[in-house]
A = this chain, B = another copy of it.
């Protein structure tokens, strides 16, 4: 059974609200994500970044709904090594909560052999929630920022770069991987624009998340590979660092960029949100393709 099948079964048994980045309940959106040591991270990462990422992935879900983050709850199951660093961990949450203007109102502490973190975040709807399901034939498909850096960073975490330029690239890619930046401000700006028809955050990889958006919207998409913005210097260092750019960009997870659709043109939309956003293709009535070939959802699945 795949993650996707479990979600479908949960939707069937529990609620139609399941299946988007977060559940819309009244004027709130609610989301929860669990991170497990040695599945989603290793303890070699500084505990500060483990904590930040566990909150960031939830804030990214709120961003994808165009919601304003309000409160969070943090449940921690701690092995002894993490108990010893609990204060640093809590401080990291407090710091990030301040940066994003949220309040951590509750949580739970438990023991475990592996550090396990479950964060629940609640946001307030701005004007309307951005759903995965509104994309229309002919809409442009947008990415909020260059991608591929996070997956490159995951590969490069333990590589020593040989040149100074490579070391600098490795540092920025690893940073993208261990300290992802949720697109909270952009999500809220998009929610205010009625021309934005659908939105999702890239957690499992462009190919998989584009399929998720298209499935929810009952549509297809044509992507042009050359239009996908690529993480700075990834192309430059790909060969010497043995990085497969195409795979990183199409299937690399944990980007937390937003993928969204709109009839608006790139210049007009960039101007409306006050920052660059990138058209990478079009919504169609067909399948999901890249440069005319089928694009398969080969991103991350916890159970494959």
Contact = CB atoms under 8 A, between A and B. Distances in A.
Interface residues of A, number: 57
B36 A116 contact: yes
A110 B39 contact: yes
Contacts of A138: none
B114 A114 contact: yes
A118 B120 CA distance: 10
A106 B32 CA distance: 7
Contact of A17 (B6, B94, B106): B106
Nearest to A103: B15
Given A73-B23, A110-B302, A104 B10 contact: yes
Contacts of A216: none
Contacts of A224: none
Contacts of A114: 112-114
A30 B107 contact: no
A164 interface: no
A121 to B, nearest CB: 10
Interface in A64-116: 71, 73-78, 83, 86-87, 90-91, 93-94, 97, 103-114, 116
Given A9-B87, A83-B1, A110 B25 contact: no
A291 interface: no
A45 interface: no
A104 B86 CA distance: 30
A116 B113 CA distance: 11
A302 B14 contact: no
A97 to B, nearest CB: 7
A40 interface: yes
A110 B32 contact: no
Given A18-B106, A77-B116, 16 more contacts: A3-B109, A7-B109, A13-B94, A14-B107, A15-B104, A17-B105, A18-B104, A31-B73, A33-B75, A34-B108, A34-B110, A36-B110, A39-B112, A83-B303, A114-B114, A118-B118
